[in-house]
């Protein structure tokens, strides 16, 4: 009996089939620049331990990013608009989640402050470009000025080294 070589060759050629598909390039992220809107001092036991700076793009909660800095204005972490706090870690690409809650609680955890802290909003002075406390950090029971409910427009923010925080979607 003769072996059907042509049939075997066709079977082998049909078994090895390669299909090439081109992958679509990844979509480029939309880059948005948030403007500095408000700043708070973080005060612990009467001593300034850091700053919280609010950056906003369109004024929505989802567009808000609170950057937590130490007294030397070095970024230590961030709090997103939903209250999730992240601390930057040396030699790591991604920050570490330290908790969720209020802005004050997130700043405490990022700055490693125990026993609570107080946020004192700073008001900008357009002529000097410096910031001064809007709410006095004094003894309990003293009258305290209520912080304003409106967020200042980016045009009213003083010129600072941080002209905006890039945010990607």
pTM above 0.95? no
Residue 168 scores a pLDDT above 90: no
Q: Is residue 164 part of a domain?
A: no
pLDDT in tens, 131-162: 545 544 434 444 444 444 443 333 333 434 44
Q: Is residue 108 part of a domain?
A: yes
Could you tell me the pLDDT band of residue 130, with boundaries at 50, 70 and 90?
Answer: very low
Question: How high is the pLDDT of residue 6?
Answer: 73
Q: Is residue 90 part of a domain?
A: yes
Average pLDDT over residues 26-32: 85
Question: How high is the pLDDT of residue 16?
Answer: 62
Q: Is residue 54 part of a domain?
A: yes
Q: Is residue 147 part of a domain?
A: no
**Enclosing domain of residue 110:** 32-137
Residue in the structure block whose two tokens are 């078994």: 15
Residue 64 scores a pLDDT above 90: no
Of 129, 135, 118, 124, residue with least CA distance to 51: 118
Q: Is residue 106 part of a domain?
A: yes
Q: Is residue 153 part of a domain?
A: no
The percent of residues above 70 in pLDDT, for the chain, comes to 65
Residue 111 Ramachandran class (φ > 0 left, ψ -120 to 50 alpha, else beta): alpha
Question: How high is the pLDDT of residue 14?
Answer: 63
Number of domains the chain is built from: 1
Q: Is residue 39 part of a domain?
A: yes
Question: How high is the pLDDT of residue 100?
Answer: 93
């Amino acid at each position: 009996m003769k072996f059907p070589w042509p049939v075997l060759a066709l079977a082998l050629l049909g078994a090895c089939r390669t299909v090439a598909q081109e992958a679509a390039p990844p979509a480029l992220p939309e880059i948005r620049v948030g403007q500095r809107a408000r700043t708070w001092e973080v005060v612990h036991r009467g001593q300034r331990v850091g700053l919280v700076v609010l950056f906003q793009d369109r004024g929505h909660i989802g567009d808000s990013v609170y950057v937590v800095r130490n007294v030397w204005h070095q970024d230590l972490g961030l709090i997103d608009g939903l209250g999730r706090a992240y601390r930057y870690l040396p030699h790591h690409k991604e920050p570490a989640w330290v908790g969720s809650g209020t802005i004050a609680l997130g700043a405490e955890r990022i700055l490693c402050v125990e026993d609570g802290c107080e946020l004192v909003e700073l008001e900008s002075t357009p002529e000097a470009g410096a910031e001064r406390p809007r709410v006095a950090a004094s003894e309990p029971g003293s009258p305290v000025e209520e912080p304003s409910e409106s967020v200042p427009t980016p045009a009213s923010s003083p010129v600072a080294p941080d002209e905006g925080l890039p945010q990607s979607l």
